[in-house]
Structure 1
Amino acid sequence: MPDTTTTTLIVLAHPEPRSFTAEWARASAKGADAVGHDVLVSDLSGMGFDPVERASHYAEPGRPFDVLKAQEQASIRGRLPHDVVPEVEKLERADRVIFHFPLWWFSPPAMLKGWFERILVHGRTHDVDHRFDRGRFRGRKALFCVSTGANAAESGPDGKEGDTRLYLWPAAYTLRYLGFDVLEPVIVHGVHGYHRGARQTQMAARLEAVLQGQEELLARFDAHPLMAFSDDGDFGDEGRLLAGAKSYSPFIRRPSE
């Protein structure tokens, strides 16, 4: 009989194993295990993952070095870099992927961006015929668990720090490109080491509540709301949003909007 066990991959992008982000990732792993999932973990800093794509990773990189072509040819020939193979295999096994990271300088850490660039191998995880609605990861789900140093008011649509959800959109659309359903992110604001006295105590209580609630989040994962994206049919032959199609993001809109 086929194995019907759900597999959850936890991807952690933070250099400090004692950080809240790392604790949160461990809580996700514990919660996934508690609901009977097979749990895979990629602690990118802990494993010394190299986030920089470069020609020297490949036996036959080609000249000039073309990343897409190099990845595709290495995939076809079974010669992907040794540190890429296990990560791709984990991603392919996963039914759910939970990414844990802080927001640094208005974007995910470079480590996670580099993981995307190296692990989302062209020719294996996607190609021109397998993307968006026809992506290879259709039916699978991804979630971002994110912390910010700024408070919630500053991080909203009218906040001085800018809208956190907009900063996460490019990473979410990367996964949408692969075919994933992307859940609305879980964001914890005001996480930093400069709180003192009562504020420090209050932050610790807030963070502990998040950690304690993670198992319930995992148990109710399929009920968590999804981010909305345009479908393939919302675009014309030139790849532009059709006049009657709804815009779900400032990143994809008609010029007059």
Structure 2
Amino acid sequence: MGTVLVVSAHPSQGSFTNAWAAATIAAAEADGHDVLRSDLCAMGFDAVERADHYGEAGATAFDPLKAQEAAAAAGRLPAEVAAEVAKIQAAERIVLHFPIWWFAPPAVVKGWCDRVLVQGLLHSVEERFDAGLCGDKSVLFCVSTGASASECGPDGKEGDLMLQLWPLAQTFRYLGMEVLAPVAVHSVHGYFEGDDEVALQTRLSAVLSEQTDVFHNWNIRERVPFNSDEQFDSDGRLKAGAPSYSPFVRPV
């Protein structure tokens, strides 16, 4: 079989997020896959890209993309970044486990993308979107929210979860990956008591048990749709008559 990278972002080892990641690992191994692991908080991953990672401390100007590209070409990426890049390159499937905090993934997920999706190795000016360097890979987000499913819907007071996830989905689309429809578990928080707490734990246990089926059905799971490169004009704007799959990219 192939290789799976499981990434999680939660500071508590006893969290549902990390238990869910463990269920994904078990499901992947049961399917015969090799598993790579990145528990970003346990690793103490530094989410801030900056000049001193590249020996440029005190520089008056710092261009992250150029710094990444030069370091990649010279074989001198920061060790923690090189290790994560190698995991992504080795994996055919990537699963990200995280909660929604303040209407977005935790900051360490964004920082991991900022530092690890290295210019010159995982994308380039010419090798992105349809021509992306990671076209042989696919990614799944396993997400929990504190709010209810109705509050996270298109008309919900918390805002549409799919729109909150779109920038991260577009990030992996930029690399050329297929993005699977996310798995979302709602009303996950520590304020339940008594019977409500028991009901929550029963519900979360079911989610963990169902992860085997989620992983087993990877190839037939719905994909998040994106516009193809040919649906944009030479200025990078959506052509007239092209479909719109998200309010982020729509006809004007």
The AA in structure 1 aligned to 2:52 is S
What amino acid sits opposite 2:234 in the alignment? D
1:187 aligned partner: 184
For 1:41, the equivalent position in structure 2 comes to: 37
Q: Deviations over 1:141-191 (max 9, x none)?
A: 100000000001111000001111110000000000000000000000000
Equivalent runs, 1:204-215 vs 2, <5 Å: 204-215=201-212
* Alignment-derived partner of residue 24 in structure 1: 20
The TM-score with structure 2 as length reference comes to 0.98
Matches within 5 A, 1:108-127: 108-127=105-124
Tell whether 2:80 aligns with 1:83: yes
Secondary structure, in 3 states, of the residue corresponding to 1:101? strand
Q: Distance in 2 between matches of 1:168 and 1:162?
A: 11
Per the alignment, residue 53 of structure 1 pairs with: 49
Amino acid aligned to 2:169 = A
Tell me which of 101, 109, 133 is aligned to 2:130.
133
> Deviation above 3 Å: which 4+ runs of structure 1?
60-63
How many angstroms apart in 2 are the aligned matches of 1:32 and 1:112?
A: 22
1:164 to 154, 161, 166: 161
Where 2:14 maps in the other structure, the secondary structure is: coil
Provide the rounded CA distance (Å) in 2 between the counterparts of 1:21 and 1:131: 30
Partner of 1:97: 94
Matched, 1:174 2:171: yes
Contact 1:60 1:70 in 2 (8 A): no
Matching of residues 231-242 of structure 1 within 5 Å:
231-242=228-239
> How far apart are residue 77 of structure 1 and its match?
0.6
Q: TM-score, normalised by structure 1?
A: 0.96
- The residue type equivalent to 1:136 in the other structure is L
Instruction: Give the Cα–Cα distance (whole angstroms) in 1 for the partners of residues 30 and 195 of structure 2.
Output: 34
| Residues in 1 aligned to 2:236 and 2:146: alpha-carbon distance in whole angstroms | 37
Q: Contact conserved, 1:149 with 1:192, CA < 8 A, in 2?
A: yes
Distance (Å, rounded) in 1 between the aligned partners of 2:108 and 2:147: 21
> What SS does structure 1 have at the residue aligned with 2:79?
coil
SS in 2 for 1:191: coil
Structure 1 residue matching 2:245: 3-state secondary structure: coil
Amino acid at match of 1:133: D
Task: For 1:195, give the aligned amino acid.
Answer: F
Q: Which amino acid aligns with 2:96?
A: F
Residue 250 (structure 1) aligned to one of 235, 238, 247: 247
Q: Which amino acid aligns with 2:44?
A: G
Structure 2 residue corresponding to 1:6, chosen from 2, 14, 24: 2
Find the residue that maps to 1:46 and give its secondary structure.
helix
SS in 2 for 1:133: helix
CA positional deviation for 1:220: 1.1
Deviation for aligned residue 1:139:
2.5
Other structure's SS at 1:143 match: strand
Structure 2: 5+ residue stretches without partners: none
Q: Deviations over 1:1-38 (max 9, x none)?
A: xxxx3100000011101000000000000100000000
